[in-house]
Amino acid sequence: MTPANEQLPPRLRPVREVIRDEQSMKAPILEALGDGPLTIPQIAEAVGKPVREVTMWVMGLRKYGWIMEIKEVDDEGYFPYALVPREES
């Protein structure tokens, strides 16, 4: 049994619920990357969401060509992600 003053870990949201938020998180993530490449933990901090959820959203944005990883990992072993250049219309 957990002592009354001990904090329990936060409840993880179901994957289905996280995926449902992908479209609403697209703009904040792209905005965070507007100033330059960031790793997933840095993106999570910038948008104020858990790394686990941001990982799913970043992989979706990568899959659909909005962002790309930079082929060199940082000192902690994370790949930075950057915006894919878009042609002005």
Question: Three-state SS across the chain?
Answer: CCCCCCCCCCCCCCHHHHHHCHHHHHHHHHHHHHHCCECHHHHHHHHCCCHHHHHHHHHHHHHCCCEEECCCCCCCCCCCEEECCCCCC
Give pLDDT tens digits for 27-83: 999 999 999 999 999 999 999 999 999 999 999 999 999 999 998 888 889 999 999
Give the per-residue pLDDT at 7: 63
Which is higher by pLDDT, 80 or 24? 80
Q: Does domain 15-83 have CATH number 3.40.50.300?
A: no
Give the per-residue pLDDT at 3: 59
With tokens 């930079």, the residue in question is: 70
Tell me how far apart the alpha carbons of residues 58 and 66 are, in angstroms, rounded to a whole number. Answer: 9
Give the per-residue pLDDT at 68: 96
Q: Tokens standing for 53?
A: 């959820």
